[in-house]
């Protein structure tokens, strides 16, 4: 999410659950219940092997390069694992993508003198992540992340990585083509239609670097990189079903790049786009594509939606005129974090989040919008939860910033005649970040008392939840987890984690050997549809990673991603998240995408 700082400036008992409105939540006085109880750190550490979790660093297997629009030469290394922007190696990329070695890309044709970069540059980091399973083949997965050529300059496009064997190997990957003429392309998210075409919703935008390395978004000057393309856009690239090479993407529509909406930079700041496609056979709007985003217009966040209908060949109809989504009348400074999902009957739901900037961002409120006519009209259904204490701008002991603070999904099987809706969110009311979870079984009219998801015994940060549901109704919440201390000095784990490189963190003196609430793992918790827990939290990552290493720098904060992927295919849950650990394939301790798979438990 590229403008997080701009955003900050800016009924009855059922299934054993007590359905209440947020204002009457009984959890406020005593704290949320933890149905499964706490577990020891040693039990949690052993749960990865006990639950047959598998790990692979998907993006460490190939060398990727592209010619960036705006080069950035600063090198902050070797501290924190940085090494600057470097040319593609003489051996070239191993991805088969168009690296730009033969000349600038089509969208770079109108660049000002000095742009684009003279040569292709090596992709080093892979920050932030999304993951989707092909509905025509559960062994076919596509992940997406930021493809970073300079973490020091927060310089990246979006890239993808693809598996045809259920996540065991990721032979096809590279940057997503068609939008190389912008400085950055950000916020990876995608969705499949019923024919197996994959739609990537993109946010390309322009900036150039000031002398001090800060980002300058002013257009219309000789320093602007590329006046031939819009300053900012919401757009689409489509990977047609059956594609097997890195370059097989459809990037145009109606004779130009596949724009959903375009913006200049005067008073506008589009951000945090999300996509959903209706793949429900009984829906009257089967294969309708819903694109959502926020425009921070003059610092007021205005949420928008547009839709189109997919065709079997990967093309689609024209995008509808963007329309603003409704918000409660008392919502100050707009809302963000749009997360559309489509119920089996075709109803489209999305949550929206307001951070109350009028009161110093004291409190988050999450509310729910819905459309029952294919996105033509929308209404606000309810407030899911109000008065949420948000995480701090940067996490304790480290410099990485907070991300998307909530997640939303729905169940595929009806419960008492309604499809369940689930929302999980970060809560900082205890002085550390916890993950809470609530559900609705009456189409969003009322919501259950929130429960605590993370079952760590000692208070540490657990954050960035991501929800999904399996075909049988099992609910999973994946999240980043800091309960395990960093490895001790002199151990093989500390060496493989690269802790000796972590020497420039202003919040911690020296390498973080044995540090608490510092190193990061990924975890998951499963529930039945009524939110009865299926066991304890499961450790997904086999090894802790250091979030300071190779972290993209934006303003004064570093970045591990605002969210990460969680999806299911058949009887398996898949996640994709960041790791800087060296398992033998990542000697530079770069941000790589760790794909974890775990069997979905049942009662």
> Residue 219's pLDDT is what?
73
> Residue 576's pLDDT is what?
98
Q: Which two tokens stand for residue 40?
A: 């020891």
Phi/psi for 24 (5° steps) reads -110, 15
CA distances from 364 to 8, 20, 405, 465, 537 (A): 12, 18, 9, 15, 26
Cβ atoms of residues 372 and 383 within 8 Å: no
Positive or negative CA dihedral for 219, 159, 320, 371?
Answer: negative
Burial 374-403 (b: 16+ CB within 10 A, else e): bbeebebbbbbbbebebbeeebbbbbbbbb
pLDDT > 70? residue 239: yes
pLDDT, mean of residues 416-424: 96
pLDDT, mean of residues 333-344: 90
pLDDT, mean of residues 510-534: 98
> Residue 24's pLDDT is what?
29
Q: Which two tokens stand for residue 316?
A: 């689609």
pLDDT in tens, 284-318: 999 999 999 999 887 788 999 999 999 999 999 99
Instruction: Establish whether the linkage from the previous residue to 78 is cis, with ω within 30° of 0.
Output: yes
pLDDT > 70? residue 225: yes
Provide the greatest CA pair distance for the chain.
67
Give 14's pLDDT tier (boundaries 50, 70, 90): very low
- What is the distance between the alpha carbons of residues 544 and 404, in angstroms, rounded to a whole number? 22
Q: Is residue 98 part of a domain?
A: yes
CA distances from 374 to 135, 241, 315, 400 (A): 21, 25, 19, 39
> Residue 18's pLDDT is what?
32
Q: Is residue 32 part of a domain?
A: no
Give the DSSP letter of residue 5: H
- What is the distance between the alpha carbons of residues 419 and 398, in angstroms, rounded to a whole number? 40
> Residue 332's pLDDT is what?
61
Give 220's pLDDT tier (boundaries 50, 70, 90): confident
CA-wise closest residue to 130 among 201, 63, 234 = 201
Q: Which two tokens stand for residue 230?
A: 């819009």
Q: Which helix (H) or strand (E) holds 48?
A: helix 41-50
Cβ atoms of residues 373 and 284 within 8 Å: no
The 3-state DSSP composition of the chain as helix, strand, coil percent (nearest 5) reads 5, 35, 55
pLDDT in tens, 439-486: 999 999 999 999 999 999 999 999 999 999 999 999 999 999 999 999
Range name among 6-10, 222-226, 479-483, 586-590 with the lowest pLDDT average? 6-10
Give the DSSP letter of residue 487: P
Residues counted in the chain? 603
Model-level pTM greater than 0.85?
Answer: yes
Residue with tokens 């940067």: 394
Identify which has the larger pLDDT, 360 or 226: 226
> Residue 506's pLDDT is what?
96
- What is the distance between the alpha carbons of residues 163 and 573, in angstroms, rounded to a whole number? 15
Q: Is residue 403 part of a domain?
A: yes
Over pLDDT 70: what percentage of the chain?
A: 93
Plot region of 81 (φ>0 → left; ψ -120 to 50 → alpha; else → beta): left
CATH code (residue 240): 2.120.10.10
Give 358's pLDDT tier (boundaries 50, 70, 90): low
Phi/psi for 438 (5° steps) reads -135, 160
Give 595's pLDDT tier (boundaries 50, 70, 90): very high
Give 252's pLDDT tier (boundaries 50, 70, 90): very high
Identify which has the larger pLDDT, 478 or 364: 478
Provide the residue range defining the domain that includes 220.
41-599
Positive or negative CA dihedral for 212, 216, 218, 221?
Answer: positive
CB neighbour list of residue 307: distance below 8 Å, 6 or more residues apart: 288, 289, 290, 291, 319, 320, 374, 375
Average pLDDT of the chain, as a whole number? 92
Cβ atoms of residues 294 and 302 within 8 Å: yes
Q: Is residue 28 part of a domain?
A: no
Positive or negative CA dihedral for 263, 264, 266, 272?
Answer: positive
> Residue 1's pLDDT is what?
42
Does residue 266 sit in helix, strand or coil? Answer: coil
Positive or negative CA dihedral for 134, 138, 139, 143?
Answer: positive
Residue with tokens 């997080």: 4
pLDDT in tens, 82-111: 999 999 999 999 999 999 999 999 999 999
pLDDT in tens, 106-164: 999 999 999 999 999 999 999 999 999 999 999 999 999 999 999 999 999 999 999 99
Q: Which helix (H) or strand (E) holds 414?
A: none
Cβ atoms of residues 573 and 141 within 8 Å: no
Q: Which two tokens stand for residue 411?
A: 């169940």
CB neighbour list of residue 479: distance below 8 Å, 6 or more residues apart: 435, 453, 454, 462, 463, 464, 465, 466, 522, 523, 524
pLDDT, mean of residues 38-52: 98
CA distances from 460 to 256, 471, 517, 566, 579 (A): 49, 33, 5, 22, 19
Q: Is residue 10 part of a domain?
A: no
Q: How many domains does the chain divide into?
A: 1
CB neighbour list of residue 127: distance below 8 Å, 6 or more residues apart: 145, 146, 148, 151, 156, 551, 552, 559, 560, 561, 578, 591
CA-atom Rg of the chain in angstroms: 22
Q: Is residue 24 part of a domain?
A: no
Q: Is residue 14 part of a domain?
A: no
pLDDT in tens, 494-511: 999 999 999 999 999 999
Q: Which helix (H) or strand (E) holds 91?
A: none
pLDDT > 80? residue 360: no
Q: Which two tokens stand for residue 541?
A: 């990552």
- What is the distance between the alpha carbons of residues 463 and 522, in angstroms, rounded to a whole number? 10
pLDDT, mean of residues 550-578: 96
Q: What angle do CA 77, 81, 82 make, to 5 degrees?
A: 45
pLDDT, mean of residues 356-365: 68
Give the DSSP letter of residue 545: B
> Residue 331's pLDDT is what?
65
Give 7's pLDDT tier (boundaries 50, 70, 90): very low
Does residue 121 sit in helix, strand or coil? Answer: strand
pLDDT, mean of residues 368-381: 98
């Amino acid at each position: 999410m590229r403008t997080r700082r701009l955003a900050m400036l800016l009924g009855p008992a059922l299934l054993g659950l007590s359905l209440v409105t947020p204002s009457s939540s009984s959890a406020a006085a005593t704290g949320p219940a933890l149905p499964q109880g706490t577990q020891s750190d040693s039990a949690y550490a052993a749960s990865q092997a006990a639950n047959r979790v598998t790990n692979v660093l998907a993006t460490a297997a190939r060398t990727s390069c592209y010619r960036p629009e705006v080069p950035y030469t600063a090198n902050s290394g070797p501290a924190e694992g940085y090494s600057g922007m470097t040319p593609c190696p003489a051996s070239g990329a191993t991805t088969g993508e168009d690296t730009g070695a033969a000349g600038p890309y089509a969208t770079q044709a109108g660049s000002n003198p000095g742009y684009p970069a003279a040569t292709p540059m090596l992709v080093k980091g892979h920050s932030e992540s999304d993951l989707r399973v092909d509905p025509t083949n559960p062994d076919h997965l596509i992940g997406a992340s930021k493809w970073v050529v300079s973490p020091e300059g927060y310089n990246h496009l979006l890239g993808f990585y693809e598996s045809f064997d259920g996540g065991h190997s990721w032979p096809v990957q590279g940057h997503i083509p068609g939008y190389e003429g912008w400085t950055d392309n950000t916020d990876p998210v995608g969705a499949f239609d019923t024919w197996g075409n994959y739609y990537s919703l993109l946010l390309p935008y322009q900036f150039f670097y000031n002398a001090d390395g800060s980002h300058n978004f002013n257009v219309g000057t000789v320093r602007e990189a590329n006046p031939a393309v819009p300053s900012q856009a919401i757009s689409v690239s489509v990977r047609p079903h059956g594609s097997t090479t890195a370059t097989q993407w459809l990037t145009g529509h109606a004779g130009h790049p596949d724009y959903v909406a375009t913006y200049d930079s005067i008073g506008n700041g589009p951000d945090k786009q999300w996509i959903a496609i209706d793949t429900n056979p009984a829906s009257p709007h089967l294969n309708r594509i819903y694109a959502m985003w926020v425009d921070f217009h003059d610092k007021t966040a205005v949420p928008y939606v547009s839709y189109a209908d997919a065709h079997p060949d990967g093309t689609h109809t024209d995008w509808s005129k963007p329309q603003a989504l409704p918000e409660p009348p008392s919502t100050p400074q707009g809302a963000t974090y749009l997360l559309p999902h489509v119920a089996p009957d075709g109803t489209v739901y999305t949550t929206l989040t307001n951070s109350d900037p009028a009161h110093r961002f004291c409190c988050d409120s999450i509310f729910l919008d819905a459309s029952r006519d294919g996105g033509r009209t929308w209404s606000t259904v309810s407030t899911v939860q109000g008065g949420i204490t948000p995480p701090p701008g940067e996490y304790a002991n480290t410099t990485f910033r907070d991300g998307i603070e909530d997640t939303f999904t729905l169940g595929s099987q009806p419960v008492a005649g309604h499809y369940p809706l689930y929302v999980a969110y970060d809560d900082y009311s205890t002085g550390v970040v916890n993950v809470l979870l609530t559900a609705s079984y009456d189409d969003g009219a009322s919501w259950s008392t929130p429960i605590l998801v993370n079952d760590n015994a000692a208070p540490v940060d657990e954050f960035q939840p991501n929800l999904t549901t399996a075909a049988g109704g099992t609910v999973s919440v994946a999240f980043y987890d800091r309960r395990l201390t960093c490895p001790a000095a002199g151990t093989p784990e500390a060496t493989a984690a690269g802790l000796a490189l972590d020497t420039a963190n202003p919040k911690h003196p020296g390498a973080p050997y044995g540090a608490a609430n510092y190193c990061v793992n990924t975890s998951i918790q499963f529930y039945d549809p009524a939110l009865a827990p299926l066991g304890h939290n499961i450790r997904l990552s086999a090894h802790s990673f250091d979030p300071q290493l190779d972290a993209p720098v934006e303003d004064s904060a570093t970045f591990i991603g605002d969210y990460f992927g969680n999806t299911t295919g058949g009887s398996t849950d898949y996640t994709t998240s960041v790791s800087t650990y060296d398992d033998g394939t990542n000697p530079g301790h770069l941000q790589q995408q760790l794909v974890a798979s775990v069997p979905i438990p049942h009662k």
